[in-house]
Structure 1
Amino acid sequence: MEQQRPNNGYQPGGQQPGYQPGNQPGNQSGYQPGNPQAGQQSGQRFGYQPGGQQPGGQPGYPKPDGQSGQRFGYQPGQQPGGQSGYQPGNPQPGWQQSPPPAGGRQHFLSPEKWRDHTAIRHISNATGIAIIVYTVLPALVSVILNLLPGFPEAYNSNQLFALAVDSLFAMECVGLPFFVSYVYLRREELSEPLAFGTPASGGAAALLVFVGLMLCMVGNYATGFLSNFVNAVFGITFTAPEDAFTITNGAEFGMRVLQTAVVPALVEEFAMRGTVLMPLRRYGDKFALLTSAFVFALIHGNMEQIPFAFIAGLGIGYAVLATGSLWTGVLIHFFNNFIAVCSEAMYDLLPASTASVLTLAMLLFVFLAGVVTLIIYLVRYQRLPLDTVKTPLDSRERNRAFLCSAPMVISIVLLVLRTITYVEI
C-alpha cells in the first residue's frame, strides 16, 4: 500500500526523464540532465538530488502520492594510462592559429592572444551546437516515437520498458551531440584523449568521492533554502518536471538504478567533464572548472536543480582535475544518484516513518564521512593549485571568448527560456 511521505523526509523528485508519450515539441519530454529536486516551499525533504539529470532531462523521482514537497536526490598533471596531459602554457600540439589580420576585433589582440581566443571560441562553438541539438532532439524523437503503432501504450503500461527507453533516450539525446563535439575537438587537436584511466592517486580519489557526495548534499540544502526564501519573500515558486514511476519490485529497482545512476553518471561526465572541462583546462583550471559547472547547471533547465548542479559541478570538476581521471567524477555522480534511488525505493516499499529514519541515517553517514575525508585530504594531499596554466588572455577575455560565440549565446537563450517555464509567479 502506498505510504504518505512526511514533509521532512527524503523524497527524490522530478519527472521521469526520457520519452514522454504524447508530448509534442515544446513540452518537457526528453532528456534533461537533472538531479532530484531541491527544496520546495511546500516543505523541503532532505536528502540527495542526483547530480546529473536523468534520461529525459527530468530531475529525479516523484512519489506517486503527488505531493509537491521537495525532492532530493546527489593531480592535475599526467593523464591516466601514463599519457601526458595538457602542457601548461603550450598550445595543443599540432594546432596552430594563423596570426590575426589587421582590423576588427583581431586588431586589439596580439598573435598569442588571438591564438588562444580562437581556440576557446572553437570549443565554445562545439559546446553550444551540442547544447542546441540536445535541446531540440528530445522533442523530435518524442514525435517520432508517438507515431509508432502501440509504442505510447507500451511505454505507459510497462515500467521496465519505459525505464529502458529512457536510458536509451539519454544516451542518444545527451551522449550523441557531445560525442560529435568531442570528435570535432579531437580532429582540430583541441582536446586530449578522454581521461578514462587510473587516477593519479587512488587514495586521493577515494577521499574525494566522499567529499564530492558531501558537497552534493550541501548543494541540495542550499537550493532548498533558496527556493523557500524566494517563495516566502517574492511569492515565486520554482517547479520542475514530474515523474510518476513507482518502484514495486527488485527488477524495477535494478532498472531504475541503470536509468538514474549508471547511464547519467557515464553520459553526463563524458559530456560535461570530458568535452567541456578538460579541453578548457589549458587556459586555466579555475576558468575550466567554473565554465563547466556553469554549463552543467544551466542544462538542467529549472531553478529547482540549477543551483544544486552548479555546486555539484564544482565538486565533481575539482575531483576530476585533482585526480586526472574522469572515473572519479563518474563515481561521485553514480553514488549520489544511487542514494536517491535507494531512498525512493524505501519510500515506495516501506512505511513512511521507517523510510524517513533510514534516509536520515544514510545522509548523516555520508555527511560525516565527507567531513572526515575532507580533513584527511587537506592534511595528507597537496591541494590543487588552480590557474597554474599560463595564457596571455586575462579572465575577462577568456570568458568573452567562450560565452559570446553565436552557438553559445543561442544555447543559453534556449536554456533560459526553458527554465522560465518552470517558474510560477
Structure 2
Amino acid sequence: MQYYPQPTQYPYPPQQYMQPVYYPPQPSPEQQRENTYRRLLRKNANSVGTLLLLFFGAELVIGVIVVLILTLLGLQGQGTTGELILLENGAISMIVFFVVGVIYCLIRKLRFASIFPFEKIGAGFLTQLCVVGLTFSLMSNYVVSLVNGVFGLFGVENTGGSFEVGDQPNVLLYLLVVAVLPAFAEEFAFRGIIMGVLRPYSEGLAILISSAAFALMHGNFVQLPFTFCCGLVFAFIDIKVNSLLPSIIIHFLNNGLSVLSDILISYKILDEATANMCYGVLFVILGILSFIFIKRFVNKDDGSFFTVKNGNTVLPYKEKVKTAITSPTLIAFAAVMVSYSLLTLITGAA
C-alpha cells in the first residue's frame, strides 16, 4: 500500500465573505408604462405651451415692427385710417397664427391629416351643429356686453383684444380681417394644432387645454370665462364630427354678425337700438332651434353623443389633466396672459 502525504495547504485559498449587493427595487412593468406615458404627455404639453408663448411673443414683436415701419413711412399717427388699422391687424393675425403654426408643424413633423381633420358631414347635421354653436356664441356675447356695461359704471373701459376702425370702415376689408381671417387662423391654431397634438392622449384633455388657451390668448379679462365656454363648444363639436369645418363656420358667423351690426350702424342704415333688437330676435330664434336640436342629440344613440374618448387607459383622466396643466411652459403662458389681461383692464380704468 502506497502512502501519499497530505498537502500542507489547500490548493485553493479559502473564500472570503462577500458583502451582499444591494439592488434598489425596480418599478413594476405597469409603473414603467405609466412613467413613460406621463413623460410623453408632459413633453407634448410643454411643446404646446412653447407654441402659445411663441404666438403671444410674435404678436407683440410683429405689432411693434409694423408700427415702426408705418411710423417711418409717415402713415402712423392721429390720421391713421380705419383701413390701415384693419390691414395692420390682418397682417399680424396671418403671420402669428399661420406662419408660426406652419413652422411648428414642420419642425415637429406633424401629419396634416391628424391635426387638420375634415371628414365629410351631412349638410343637415352640419347646419344643426352650427346653429347650436352660434347660439352659445351669441349668448356669451350678451353676457360680455352686460359685464362691460357694469364695468363702465365704474369708469373701467375694457378694450382688451378690440380695436377701432373709424366711422365708416371698408366693408369687405372689415369682413375679411374681423370675420374671415380669425375664423381660419384661430381655428387652425387652437382646434387644429393644439387640439390635434393632445387629442391622442384624451379628447377631453384636448378640448380643455385648447379652450383655455383660446380664451387666454384673447387678452380680455372680462371675456375670459365666456370665451372659454365658446371654445369648449367649438372643440367638442369638432371632436364629435372629426372636422374643423363646423368651428370655422360658427366662428365666421359669430364675428360676421358683429361686423354686419357695426356696418349697418356706421352707414346709418339702422340705429343702434334697432340693430340690437334684430340681434335679440335672431338670438331667440336660434335659441329655440338649438333647444330642439340638442334634444335630438340627447336622444341619439342613447345620449352617447355627449361622451368623449379618454384615449389610452394607462393613466386616468384626472392624472392626464394634472400632468398637462403642471407643465412649466403652460403655467408660464397662463401667468403671462392673465397678467397681460389684468394690465389691460387696469390701464382701461386709468
Indicate whether the TM-score tops 0.5: yes
Structure-2 residue corresponding to 1:182: 105
Residues 268 and 240 (structure 1), Cα distance of their counterparts in 2 relative to 1, 3 Å cut: same
Q: How does 1:410-421 map to 2 (within 5 A)?
A: 410-421=332-343
Q: CA deviation at 1:326?
A: 0.6
Cα distance, 1:282–1:146 mapped onto 2, change above 3 Å: closer
Q: Which amino acid aligns with 2:246?
A: T
Q: Quick one: structure 1 residues 134 and 305, their matched pair in 2 at CA, closer, same or farther if it must change by over 3 Å?
A: same
**TM superposition score normalised by structure 1:** 0.66
Alignment of 1:109-128 (within 5 A): 110-128=31-49
- RMSD over equivalenced CA pairs, Å: 3.2
Counterpart amino acid of 2:311? Answer: V
Change (3 A) 1:146 1:335: closer
Structure 2 CA distance for partners of 1:223 and 1:360, relative to 1, 3 Å:
closer
Do structure 1's residue 171 and structure 2's residue 91 form an aligned pair?
Answer: no
Task: Give 1:157 shift.
Answer: 3.3
Aligned with 1:362 (options 264, 278, 282): 282
**Could you give the per-residue CA deviations for residues 47-90 of structure 1, whole angstroms, max 9, x where no partner exists?**
xxxxxxxxxxxxxxxxxxxxxxxxxxxxxxxxxxxxxxxxxxxx
Question: 1:407 is aligned with what amino acid?
Answer: T
Work out whether residues 83 and 165 of structure 2, in 8 Å CA contact, stay in contact via their aligned partners in 1. no
Unpaired stretches in structure 1, ≥5 consecutive residues: 1-101
Question: What is the match of residue 398 of structure 1?
Answer: 320
Structure 1 residues 305-316: aligned runs within 5 Å = 305-316=223-234
For structure 2, the residue ranges without an aligned partner over 5 or more in a row are 1-23
Please state if 1:150 is matched with 2:59. no
Instruction: Report the Cα distance in structure 1 between the residues aligned to 2:127 and 2:108, rounded to whole angstroms.
Output: 30
Mapped to 2, the partners of 1:231 and 1:211 lie a distance apart of 30
Give the CA deviation at 1:144: 2.4
The residue number in structure 2 matching 1:267 is: 185
Aligned to 2:15: none
2:222 pairs with 1:301: no
User: Which structure has more helix as a fraction of its residues?
Assistant: 2
Classify the secondary structure of the residue corresponding to 1:110: helix
Q: What's the CA shift for 1:307?
A: 1.2
Q: Give yes or no for contact 2:214–2:228 (8 Å, CA) kept in 1.
A: yes
**More deviation, 400-409/238-247:** 238-247
- 1:353 maps to which of 266, 273, 277: 273
Query: What is the alpha-carbon distance in structure 1 between the residues aligned to residue 33 and residue 166 of structure 2?
Result: 56
Structure 2 CA distance, aligned partners of 1:224 and 1:145?
A: 31
Distance 2:56 2:311 in 1: 33
Change (3 A) 1:116 1:306: same
1:58-73 to 2 correspondence within 5 Å? none
Q: What does residue 158 of structure 2 align with? A: 239
Question: Secondary structure at the residue paired with 2:87?
Answer: helix
Q: 2:4 maps to what in 1? A: none
The answer to whether the 8 Å contact 1:261/1:338 transfers is yes
Amino acid at match of 1:385: T
Query: How big is the shift at 1:277?
Result: 1.5
Tell me the TM-score normalized by structure 2.
0.79
- Shift in Å, 1:170: 0.2
Q: Show the counterpart of 1:29.
A: none
Q: Read off the aligned partner of 2:51 and give its amino acid letter.
A: A
The 2-side partners of 1:125 and 1:211 are apart by: 33
Find the aligned partners of 1:394 and 1:163 in 2 and give their Cα distance: 46
Computing the radius of gyration from Cα coordinates, the structure with the larger value is 2
Q: Is the 8 A contact 2:215 2:224 kept in 1?
A: yes
Partner of 1:139: 60
SS of equivalent to 1:193: helix
Residue 244 of structure 1 deviates from its aligned partner by 2.1
1:144-199 Cα deviation digits (max 9, x unpaired): 23333225338953333332232121011233333333334435x7x853334233
Please report how far the alpha carbon of residue 200 of structure 1 lies from its aligned counterpart in structure 2 after TM superposition.
Answer: 4.5
Match runs of 1:1-400 below 5 Å: 110-148=31-69, 149-150=72-73, 152-153=75-76, 156-187=79-110, 193-223=114-144, 239-241=158-160, 242-246=162-166, 248=168, 252-349=170-267, 350-380=270-300, 383-400=305-322
Report how far residue 324 of structure 1 moved: 0.6
Output the CA distance in 2 between the equivalents of 1:206 and 1:130: 33
Query: 1:353: how far off?
Result: 3.5
Secondary structure in 1 matching 2:109: helix
Aligned positions, number: 317
Give the drift of 1:206. Answer: 2.0
Question: Against the structure 1 CA distance between its residues 166 and 262, is the aligned structure 2 distance closer, same or farther, given a 3 Å change threshold?
Answer: same
Give the CA deviation at 1:222.
4.2
Q: 1:254-293, CA deviations, whole angstroms, 9 ceiling, x for partnerless residues?
A: 1111101110010101111111112222222222212211
Instruction: Assess if the C-alpha contact under 8 Å between 1:293 and 1:310 holds in 2.
Output: yes
* Residue aligned with 1:343, SS: helix
